[in-house]
Amino acid sequence: MQDRSAAPQQEEQPPPQQEEPPLPAQAPRRAPIGERLLDPPHDFLSRRVEAYSRKLDEFFSDPNRAYDSTGSTLQIRGHVKFFEAGVTEDKVDVRASISLPNTEDRLKLIVQRGLEAGTQTAAERDIKNATGSSQVAAPGASQDNDYYLGLKALAAELFGATLSAEGGVKFGRPPDPYVRLRIFRDFVFSQWAIRVSETPLWKRSEGSSAASELGLLRPLNEEWQLRLTSKATWRSTTSYFDLAQIGALYFTPDKRTAYTFELGAFGTSDRSQRQSVYSATLRARRQIYRDWLYLEVTPQILYQETNGFRPENSFLLQLEALFGDRYLQP
C-alpha cells in the first residue's frame, strides 16, 4: 500500500475572480449656451482690445505706461520748438528705469526729470513742451525741472490691481526727499480697455498730492482707435483740484507710422481762478530705424483764459531714442 501521507499535497487554487462589467460610457458634458456663444467672442475681443492698447502705448511711449512698464529702459528725448513769433527753443530729457539684478523686475532704480512727468498724460506733456510750463495744464503744479533718483518696488498684485512704492531724493542741494505710491488696474468691458489709477505723492518741499485717472480705449477698426481720459489732481498747496479731460483719435496706417488728433480741456474746480486752457494737437510719429528710434512732429494750438483765449500756435520737432534689453537685435 502506498503511503498517502507521503504524496505531495496540492495547493488549493483560489477561484477565478470575475471581472466587473465596465461602467457605461458617459455622454460628454454639453457646455451651457453662454460658454458656447458668449465666451469665445468675449475672449477674442478682450485680447484684441488689450493688444490695441498695448501697441499704442508702446509706440507712442505714453508717459503713464512707460512708468508702469517692466524691464530696463533708457529714454532720451531731444526736441526743438518753433513759435509763431519766430522764437525757437531746444531741450533734452533723459529718463532711466533700471531693473536691479536678481529681483525679477520687482526693484528698479529710477532717474527722472520732474516728479510728475512719469505719471502725466501725453497731452500734459505736449503742453509743457509747447509752453515750458506744467502750470498751463495743471495750474497748481510747481515748476519742477530737477532730476530725481529713486528706488521703486513692486509691492503687490491684489485683486487684479498692481501696487508699487517709490522713494528717492532730488539731485543737488538741499536734499529734497519724496515718497510715491501708485495703484492701477486694467480690465476690459465690452469693447473698451479701461485703466483706473491712483497716485499719491509726498515731497518734503511741497507737501502731498494725489492724482486720480480714468482712461478708456476703444478700437473702431483695424486702423482707428478712440481714447478718453479724465484726470483730477489734488494738492495740499491749493484748495482745489486740477482737472483734465482729453479725447484722442488714433490712426495707425502701418506698423511704423501713427497719428493722433487730441482735444483737451484743462482747468480747476475753483472757477474764480479763471485759468481754463483748451488745446488742439496733431501728433505724427514715425519709427525711422528699427524699433528704438522715432521722429515726432507736433503742431498745437492753445487757447488760454489768461490770454483772452487768443490762439497760440507752436510746432515741435522731436527725436527719441530708446535703449534696453527689449531693443536688442537678434
Residue 91 CB: number of other CB atoms within 10 A?
Answer: 15
Residue 207 CB: number of other CB atoms within 10 A?
Answer: 11
- What's the confidence (pLDDT) of residue 16? 57
> What DSSP designation does 100 have?
P
Q: Average pLDDT in the 34-45 region?
A: 64
Sign of CA dihedral 262, 208, 136, 110: negative
- What's the confidence (pLDDT) of residue 36? 62
Q: Average pLDDT in the 299-316 region?
A: 94
Mean pLDDT is highest, among 45-49, 79-83, 197-201, for 197-201
> Rounded mean pLDDT of the chain?
85
- What's the confidence (pLDDT) of residue 141? 87
- 115-145 per-position pLDDT tens digit: 988 888 888 888 887 787 888 888 888 888 8
Is 155 in contact with 165 (CB distance < 8 Å)? Answer: yes
Cis peptide bond N-terminal to 174, omega within 30: yes
Is 155 in contact with 180 (CB distance < 8 Å)? Answer: no
- What's the confidence (pLDDT) of residue 131? 80
